[in-house]
Structure 1
Amino acid sequence: MQLAVLSGFLLAALTPFLSSVFHQRLGWLIALLPAGLAIWFASFLPQMLAGEVIIHEWAWIPGLDISLTFVLDGLSFLFAMLITVIGSFVFLYASEYLKGHQDLHRFYMVLLAFMASMLGLVLSDSLITLFVFWELTSITSYLLIGFNHHEASARKAALQGLIITVGGGLALLAGMVMLAMIGGSYSIQTLLTQGEVIQNHPLYLAALLCLLGGAFTKSAQFPFHFWLPNAMAAPTPVSSYLHSATMVKAGVYLLARLSPSLGGTEAWQFILPLFGATTMFVGAFMGLRSTGIKKLLAYSTLMALGTLTLLLGIGTETAMIAFAAFLLGHSLYKGALFMIAGAVDHSTGTKEVPELGGLRKAMPITAAAAFIAGLSLAGLPPLFGFIAKEMMLEAVLEGSQLLTYTLILAVASAMLGIAIAGVVAIKPFFGELKKTPHTPHEAHWPMLAGPVVLAGLSLFFGLFPQFAGSLLVQGAASSVAGQPLEVSLYLWHGVNLPLILSICSLIVGALLFWRWDAYRRLIAVLDPMIARGPEAGYFKFMDGMVKTAEWQTRVLQNGSMRNYLSVILMSFTLLVGYTLFARYQMHWNWVLDFQWHELIIAGLLIAATFIACSTRSRLGAVAAMGVVGFAVALIFILFSAPDLGITQVLVETLTVMLLVLVLFRLPSFVSLSTPMQRARDIGVALLTGGLMTLLIMITIDVQLFPSISEYMVANSQPLAYGRNIVNVILVDYRALDTLGEIFVLALAALGVYAMIKLHPETDPGANTLAGSLVLPEPKIETQQSSAAAQTVSAEPASKESAV
């Protein structure tokens, strides 16, 4: 199963090489991977029918106890089948839709990585790996939405989607950490058994809100819904895949996966139906006022995502079955309709519905597939969408909280949804033939295979719902419910309240479709209010963030090193000092015991520090700081740290030598600090130094954990075969840290070598900066030159004095 997930990334890496061999047939070759994965996943159907849960575990980072574990149960099986089956048709579709595009191989690469990321997301058992794949879907969708990067609208839409989904991902990460702390594990299978513990924990509400923040942004729930219609700037194959089987359903999948452990509480049953029903209605309302066929379908996806969230919030057995059925039905008809929208645009040169009409004669197969898929979107018999809608209405009628609110919005959305289906599936193909930029013609078979098969499955599952119920819906619904469910789907349930509501919605929806133009003119009065909606808030937030960044750059990052250090040190002193004195009880019973040679070293250190701060000479300041460094080295040696002492001596010697060589050629200070600046700097230094001294003295008397030195002494020779404990720590216990230090030293050595050996006068192609740092031989200055060097000037006194 790990190979099934990672195969998409592997093939994506090989795509540039395969492109030079297979050229235009590369899409057909790539489509074999998701098709083969679909067949492989289908081989697990007997286990899924038996209710088994298949777990594959591979140690990823054993030292951190992190494993790459994948789980296949009814829910992940349904998603995996949708991702692979629809994915194979999308790759076929893209091979014809983007035929001849210069960046087609780049498109295949990102789309393969996107498919693999979504597969990894739905199959992951660990919250850590799920989050990794979650963020990969955000990154790859950003690249796909902005595929036509020469268009400003594509770049804008891609960035908007990335910011919203990644921002929600940060909330999701916090929720996952809290959930793991409550449940005691990052394994989802373990967490699903800890439902009572999780729901009774004080952190439950905080974890739930963070998880909902990640899920709502990913699945475009209100008020984060606006990024999804804007993502229609992506090529149609991306839109088809994004809306039918992949990214936008990731948030819904997460909620469904965690429903057994998080669901059933008052917060869950209030928040999810509230936002789900609102999103469902907003998507239907905004969709019917749109004229672009892709925008119409995008808003209808919002309606479906809100419906799925609503059903998860209701949480009854009927709602769980309706969730799985609606998920399957929506994926089938939405994948088909988006491909049909692309075929119409590709054939006629326009995707505006008012400019289309009478295409059924020129595009008969497309028209038939559109009509069948449109009936499923409208929820009319004998399509599977009708069965899913009936079960949705039945589940809403069973809801306890917000029953009136959700029922009204569900019926209103059903009415608007029928009108949207009519606009998408009937208006472009029936009526009078309209003149379009291109002469209409039937699409080639790679663009028709997906719509025909998916629409055919909608019809087949509608006529024979027992196949969908037993093969796909039952396992998924049982996984979401956390217990085995018996699923019986029927096309005809008799005359009941859901059927009556469906008939009413059909009548009103048909009226709205008939008077679509009048409806759009009527609701145009709401355009000013809509323009001030959540999307306007997003742009104001982005503008505010930019202004805040400009302000803090101007105030904090103004190029003054003194200002940087002052802000950092004062922030540290205030925060740590407040915490130390306000939250911890101080004990001032320290006994200070000094010996005379220690007092001499301390006095030398203080005197050198005072000279370094008060001298007007650069060389004097460097020499004084060297004395400070050597005094610190003596302290290390006196207190049994000879290795630190030797390191300190070497570093101070090298630093003083290099600074003297550079500063010897410079004039005196151009300007000195004002008395006010020096007073401020002295205050900051004293406060920071005093706090650090206090912390060190407190730390001496505090031991939160047993000393690790005994472990090092006992295990140095048996485990690392070394008796020099310091060497063992550096080479074995801190191997990566030491490797990093070696790399830094090697890099510094290369830099020094470059500065020494590369001379501009002997090597014209050498780096000018490296050559300019090679200093001339120092000369003994006369009294006159020394006096000249004291001249205060903003310009260097000579060429040699410039660095």
Structure 2
Amino acid sequence: MPGDLTLIAMLLPFAGAVLAPWLTARMGHNAAWPLALIPVFAFVHFAGFLPEIAAGEVITGGYVWVPSLALSFSWFIDGLSLTFALLITGIGTLIVLYAGGYMKGHPQQGRFTAYILLFMGAMLGLVISDSFLMLFIFWELTSITSFLLIGFDHRREASRRSALQALVVTGGGGLALLAGLIFLWNMTGVTQLSLLVNAGDVVRASPFYLAALFLVLGGAFTKSAQFPFHFWLPNAMEAPTPVSAFLHSATMVKAGVYLLMRLNPAMGGTLAWEILLPFFGGVTLLVGGILAIRQTDLKLMLAYTTVASLGLLVMLTGFDTPHAVEAAVLYLVAHSLFKGALFMVAGLIDHEAGTRDVTRLGGLRKAMPVTFIAAIFAAISMAGLPPFFGFLAKEEIYYALAGASPRAVFFTAVAIIGNALMFAIAFAVALKPFLGAEVKTPKHAHEGPVLLWLGPLTLAALGLLAAVFSPLAHQFVSTPMATAVAGEATPITISLIPHIGVPLALSLLTILVGIGVYRSLDRLRGMVDELLLGIGTGPDRWFDGFISGLVHVSYGLTRVVQSGRLQFYITATFVILAVTLLVPLFAYDELPALPGWPAEISFYELAFFAIAVIGIVTVVMAKDRLTAIVSLGIQGFAVAVLFLLFGAPDLSFTQFMVETLSVVILALVMTRLKLSVTDHRPFVPTILHGALALACGLGFMLLLMRATQGAFDPALSIFFNTYSKIIAHGANVVNVIIVDYRGVDTMGEIAVVMITGLAILALIRIRVAPRLQPEAPLVPAGPPVAREGVDQPALAEAAMASPAKSKSGARKSK
């Protein structure tokens, strides 16, 4: 029963996506309330697993699909997947409600909600998947649904570009991930994550470990926007704000982090893992924080800090200290809560004030008091201040990174700079729009409806409650999650009571630097802008160049391989055929032994052999096409007789039918198409085409000779002779093979013959209509009068090409 409910919880969002347009059309924005019950049901179901997971158990289930390939539709729920499932369904509930208020009155609100639910189902399936194949399918489904959501406003070019960019980057990474999963399958022989996490020694000892690691990192880095693939996430802010709050803050962009955490027990602990992840994560942290300083759009400021946060998570996941995993777990949960809240705050400000430009906002505290409270709570958590969950995460980060080694000092400095930049942006988003003198905004600012402020206020309050009741949060969420990531029992005990020491000192240093950045934000914004203008192009422009180059290369290649000339297609086909036949025979020394002259051969066998040779020579020497067609049929009939003489009557009969049809079809083509009577090919093409024909014929001859000279395995013949009568009730073994054992193939051949017959029928029925001539010239006699902008010869030609009409509109012809 729990397995059935888990399956229902996974599939229910997809059913809700089908229902959403119909329900929204009848209830309007109020449809958000019943539609929110779908993620509520899933949240309640997964929350029921908390006691079992906290006790150290894991939950698996599913259904076998292809047993021979170990493929299944299965799920694996431990502390890591359960935390993600709760975040997806819990925040998803608030996003569905928020979208109901944010998209109120939009003609496509039902479609938008359907996309949100589709994404929710895809992301939920991704994080609880056990099967490699199931993981990959849901991974790519998140890319597709993200494409639909980012490009929701498809009439805008910016939305279309951003959607395509996200699809190309994350979809390409998904293909890399598929290759990496195939490597892991071949390295370990398992196709389930629940088994892979216990096969770490086998994975790390494999000579293919680095190849698998690079491919997996390609999938994770593109999905989680790591440098240099970070550019797609800020561009995705073209999507409506509910999309930004759900996909690109709390859930989808963390899919790459989830994958790295999931594979940490199997692939972590190596030198490559501990170099690549901290390096790229640290670079992404700094790049995201610096680029956030440059922005004035609230969503873009938050988007770049999301990039920075993802970099921090990747850096911690790859760090080799005992508490790095604990820090990553705490920060992931804290980030989901405060960043989802801040994105919804940004959308609420835009919805009610008419702008997201922080330089055009101010004094909204009185007009939007509830939104201001939510913003302050979320910003305090993002800044890492007590008494919020973000404070616990930041303290654990410094506890994990701080050390005396140069490596520890370097990455600790990176973390301090990144956290200080995010501190400044957090309060820039939460304070600048609300404090100071009132600024006239495009719309009269006022507090939004409950559907809009319920989400951010709830998430911000959860950040406070999780810190205040941290023992419970650690028992049911943090500790089971850290245990799953580390692959061993990893209890977390940090609380709001500060511990005097290096972590607290580093927190105070971060606050001081963050305050300095906040106070100098305008000046630093100009400095970063000048720096980036001096650097010039970046990954975003590189993407445009890549797509442009790809289009040009594709166009040029298409012009070559799709020239529109049938002769080129046929020639290319036979060239590839000749190479495929001959190269392996010569490259691998598989040439057959040449047969000797048969000891006994009848005169009539020699006669038909001679007829076949004469037919071939006649085809080559024929002066007109019709003679060549008939001669080709004679050669085919002679070969059919040889089949008959050597004991293959069925094959002989087939050959007779094929040759007869070939002659008839080719003759009909000759009568219907305007072809010259003779072939006027120049000498050089004739030689080249003749050589190609000889190469193909030689290839087939050598291949067949090599196949017949091998040891004969009678197993298949014995099987057919033994079971044809018993199973298929047929005494003629050949007929049984054609009709029963390979009946689908025979049906395909019949379909080909039928289509060919229809083509012949259409060819026969073609009639060339007589060209209609006008009774009188449509262009007046005398010299044409030139008109500005009119091409007189082209006009006359177009007019003459059109049949004349009488006054009644009927066509006239001679």
Give the TM-score normalised by the residue count of structure 1: 0.88
Distance 1:284 1:439 in 2: 32
In the other structure, the counterpart of 1:564 is 569
Alignment partner of 1:663 out of 662, 670, 693 = 670
Distance 1:401 1:557 in 2: 59
- Residues 337 and 374, structure 1, Cα contact 8 Å, conserved in 2: yes
Residues 1:676 and 2:684 are matched in the alignment: yes
SS in 1 for 2:62: strand
Task: Decide whether aligned partners of structure 1 residues 500 and 511 sit closer, same or farther in structure 2, where only a CA change above 3 A counts.
Answer: same
Alignment partner of 1:397 out of 384, 394, 402 = 402
SS in 1 for 2:76: strand
Write the letter of the residue equivalent to 1:690: L
Distance 2:712 2:336 in 1: 56
Distance 1:538 1:635 in 2: 63
Residues 1:14 and 2:27 are matched in the alignment: no
Task: Decide whether aligned partners of structure 1 residues 399 and 223 sit closer, same or farther in structure 2, where only a CA change above 3 A counts.
Answer: farther
In the other structure, the counterpart of 1:786 is none
In the other structure, the counterpart of 1:789 is none
Residues 1:619 and 2:626 are matched in the alignment: yes
SS in 1 for 2:72: strand
Deviation track 1:390-426 (CA, whole Å, cap 9, x = no partner) reads 2122222369794344222211101111111111111
Q: How does 1:324-403 map to 2 (within 5 A)?
A: 324-397=329-402, 402-403=407-408
Deviation at 1:380, TM superposition (A): 1.3
* Identity rate, percent: 43
Deviation at 1:605, TM superposition (A): 4.5
SS in 2 for 1:351: coil
Write the letter of the residue equivalent to 1:473: S
Alignment partner of 1:774 out of 750, 765, 770 = 765
In the other structure, the counterpart of 1:687 is 695
In the other structure, the counterpart of 1:794 is none
Deviation track 1:406-459 (CA, whole Å, cap 9, x = no partner) reads 222211101111111111111111111111110101111111111111000001
Write the letter of the residue equivalent to 2:627: G
SS in 2 for 1:343: helix
In the other structure, the counterpart of 1:491 is 496
Of 559-568 and 572-581, more deviation after overlay is shown by 572-581
Deviation at 1:646, TM superposition (A): 3.9
Distance 1:239 1:704 in 2: 65
Q: How does 1:295-314 map to 2 (within 5 A)?
A: 295-314=300-319
Distance 1:42 1:55 in 2: 16
Of 490-499 and 320-329, more deviation after overlay is shown by 490-499
- Residues 274 and 402, structure 1, Cα contact 8 Å, conserved in 2: no
Deviation track 1:152-195 (CA, whole Å, cap 9, x = no partner) reads 00000000111111111121111111110000121122222211
Task: Decide whether aligned partners of structure 1 residues 482 and 291 sit closer, same or farther in structure 2, where only a CA change above 3 A counts.
Answer: same
Deviation at 1:740, TM superposition (A): 5.2
- Residues 225 and 231, structure 2, Cα contact 8 Å, conserved in 1: yes
Deviation at 1:252, TM superposition (A): 1.1
- Residues 334 and 381, structure 2, Cα contact 8 Å, conserved in 1: yes
Deviation at 1:735, TM superposition (A): 6.1
Residues 1:2 and 2:10 are matched in the alignment: no
In the other structure, the counterpart of 1:799 is none
SS in 1 for 2:56: coil
- Residues 616 and 669, structure 1, Cα contact 8 Å, conserved in 2: no
SS in 1 for 2:676: coil
Task: Decide whether aligned partners of structure 1 residues 302 and 560 sit closer, same or farther in structure 2, where only a CA change above 3 A counts.
Answer: same
- Residues 314 and 399, structure 1, Cα contact 8 Å, conserved in 2: no
Q: How does 1:728-767 map to 2 (within 5 A)?
A: 734=742, 737=745
Write the letter of the residue equivalent to 2:630: A
Task: Decide whether aligned partners of structure 1 residues 168 and 603 sit closer, same or farther in structure 2, where only a CA change above 3 A counts.
Answer: farther
Distance 1:598 1:275 in 2: 76
SS in 1 for 2:105: coil
In the other structure, the counterpart of 1:795 is none
Of 495-504 and 701-710, more deviation after overlay is shown by 701-710
Distance 1:406 1:722 in 2: 77
Deviation at 1:608, TM superposition (A): 3.9
- Residues 243 and 335, structure 1, Cα contact 8 Å, conserved in 2: no
In the other structure, the counterpart of 1:793 is none
Task: Decide whether aligned partners of structure 1 residues 472 and 635 sit closer, same or farther in structure 2, where only a CA change above 3 A counts.
Answer: farther
- Residues 662 and 775, structure 1, Cα contact 8 Å, conserved in 2: no
Residues 1:446 and 2:451 are matched in the alignment: yes
Task: Decide whether aligned partners of structure 1 residues 303 and 660 sit closer, same or farther in structure 2, where only a CA change above 3 A counts.
Answer: same
- Residues 617 and 668, structure 1, Cα contact 8 Å, conserved in 2: no
Task: Decide whether aligned partners of structure 1 residues 52 and 631 sit closer, same or farther in structure 2, where only a CA change above 3 A counts.
Answer: farther
Alignment partner of 2:275 out of 249, 270, 281 = 270
Determine which structure has more spread, i.e. the larger CA radius of gyration.
Answer: 2
Distance 2:216 2:298 in 1: 33
Write the letter of the residue equivalent to 1:620: T
- Residues 355 and 441, structure 2, Cα contact 8 Å, conserved in 1: yes
In the other structure, the counterpart of 2:509 is 504
Of 405-414 and 473-482, more deviation after overlay is shown by 405-414
Deviation at 1:248, TM superposition (A): 0.9
Residues 1:591 and 2:598 are matched in the alignment: no
Residues 1:650 and 2:641 are matched in the alignment: no
Aligned residues: 759
Task: Decide whether aligned partners of structure 1 residues 635 and 224 sit closer, same or farther in structure 2, where only a CA change above 3 A counts.
Answer: farther
Write the letter of the residue equivalent to 1:679: I
Deviation at 1:246, TM superposition (A): 2.3
Unpaired segments of 5 or more residues in structure 2?
Answer: 1-5, 769-814
SS in 2 for 1:395: helix
In the other structure, the counterpart of 2:707 is 699
Residues 1:538 and 2:543 are matched in the alignment: yes
In the other structure, the counterpart of 2:207 is 202
Distance 1:411 1:227 in 2: 26
Alignment partner of 1:145 out of 150, 153, 156 = 150
Write the letter of the residue equivalent to 1:97: Y
Write the letter of the residue equivalent to 2:682: T
Distance 2:21 2:259 in 1: 34
Distance 2:391 2:233 in 1: 25
Deviation at 1:240, TM superposition (A): 0.8
SS in 2 for 1:86: helix
Task: Decide whether aligned partners of structure 1 residues 109 and 611 sit closer, same or farther in structure 2, where only a CA change above 3 A counts.
Answer: farther
In the other structure, the counterpart of 2:781 is none
Alignment partner of 2:462 out of 457, 461, 482 = 457
Deviation track 1:87-120 (CA, whole Å, cap 9, x = no partner) reads 1111111111111212222212222221111111
Distance 1:101 1:219 in 2: 31
Of 358-367 and 627-636, more deviation after overlay is shown by 627-636
Deviation at 1:695, TM superposition (A): 3.0
Deviation at 1:776, TM superposition (A): 6.0
SS in 2 for 1:554: helix
Alignment partner of 2:53 out of 27, 48, 51 = 48
SS in 2 for 1:71: strand
Write the letter of the residue equivalent to 2:676: F
SS in 1 for 2:63: strand
SS in 1 for 2:482: helix
Write the letter of the residue equivalent to 1:99: K
Residues 1:126 and 2:131 are matched in the alignment: yes
Write the letter of the residue equivalent to 1:674: P
Deviation at 1:141, TM superposition (A): 0.7
Deviation track 1:507-561 (CA, whole Å, cap 9, x = no partner) reads 1111111111111112222123554222222222212211211221222321122
Give the TM-score normalised by the residue count of structure 2: 0.87
Task: Decide whether aligned partners of structure 1 residues 746 and 341 sit closer, same or farther in structure 2, where only a CA change above 3 A counts.
Answer: farther
SS in 1 for 2:402: helix
Of 163-172 and 550-559, more deviation after overlay is shown by 550-559
Of 561-570 and 132-141, more deviation after overlay is shown by 561-570
Residues 1:471 and 2:476 are matched in the alignment: yes
Write the letter of the residue equivalent to 2:122: S
